[in-house]
Chains A and B, each alone.
Chain A
Amino acid sequence: GQNIDQPTEMTATEGAIVQINCTYQTSGFNGLFWYQQHAGEAPTFLSYNVLDGLEEKGRFSSFLSRSKGYSYLLLKELQMKDSASYLCVVCNQAGTALIFGKGTTLSVSS
């Protein structure tokens, strides 16, 4: 079967660093995305990994290990506006289908 696991909820304080983990078991692999979704809004693209390693984009970084079926999203210098749901999304081998995690709801407090 195909499955993506990520924690349901996480909490952190402003200015801190938080790491959101994602493990996946899918029929092959052809890329992993992270999307951010604020409550009541549409998902927005954060990052894409297809090769092992770390991709950095400002305060956000995403890491991938294909051999371990593992990714994480690292958020630095947390701000209140980072309170949102973070979706881990994996593409299958053929590149034709996306499998979505249920999302991790991050709450940032002052």
Chain B
Amino acid sequence: DAGVIQSPRHEVTEMGQEVTLRCKPISGHDYLFWYRQTMMRGLELLIYFNNNVPIDDSGMPEDRFSAKMPNASFSTLKIQPSEPRDSAVYFCASSLGYPGSNQPQHFGDGTRLSIL
């Protein structure tokens, strides 16, 4: 079975540019999560969706970040305008259950983003 699919795997762009990260969750998973990982801050939950509806976006750092889930098989995380401090690995994960359930989250391979 296909796992969580993220694209692109790597992105290098100049500050000020718009960046769009994409994610396809595992079919049948009702929950989708976006994470950011850096050496300094570790893994941080940015936002998660249930049945395409954003449930908790308290982790989104600022208005430059936005996420959408137009249908059950696709989500985007957009940064506009991008800044060097946004450089990180961004993971998408999906799950059959809410965060506190015993259902594990399945992570994609991540997008390594570098903002110059």
Stretch at the interface among B13-21, B65-73, B79-87, B94-102: B94-102
Interface string of B104-116 (1 = CB under 8 A from A): 1111111000000
A91 cross-chain contacts in B, Cβ below 8 A: 99-100
> Residue on A with the closest CB to B4?
A42
| Number of CB contacts from chain A to chain B under 8 A | 51
Contact with A along B40-56 (1 / 0, CB 8 A): 00111100000000011
B interface residues, how many (CB within 8 angstroms) = 20
On chain A, the number of residues with a Cβ less than 8 Å from chain B's Cβ atoms is 22
User: B91 near A: Cβ within 8 Å?
Assistant: yes
- Contact check, B102 vs A31: say whether CB atoms are below 8 A apart: yes
Distance of A45 Cα from B99 Cα, bound (Å): 13
Q: Are A98 and B99 in contact (CB under 8 A)?
A: yes
The reply to whether A100 and B107 contact each other, CB–CB distance below 8 Å, is no
Main secondary structure on B side of the interface with A: loop
Contact, CB under 8 Å: A42 / B104: no
Chain B CB within 8 A of A53 CB: no
- CA A31 – CA B109 in complex, angstroms? 25
Which residues of B lie under 8 Å from residue A41 when comparing CB positions?
109
A48's partner among B43, B55, B98, B104 (CB-CB below 8 A) is B104
Contact of B107 with A42 in the complex, beta carbons under 8 Å: yes
Which of B43, B45, B100 sits near A87, CB closer than 8 Å?
B43
Please tell me if the beta carbons of B110 and A100 are within 8 angstroms of each other in the complex: no
Given known pairs A42-B108, A42-B109, A42-B110, the reply for A95 and B101 (CB within 8 Å) is yes
User: Which of B43, B55, B102, B110: most chain A CB closer than 10 A?
Assistant: B43
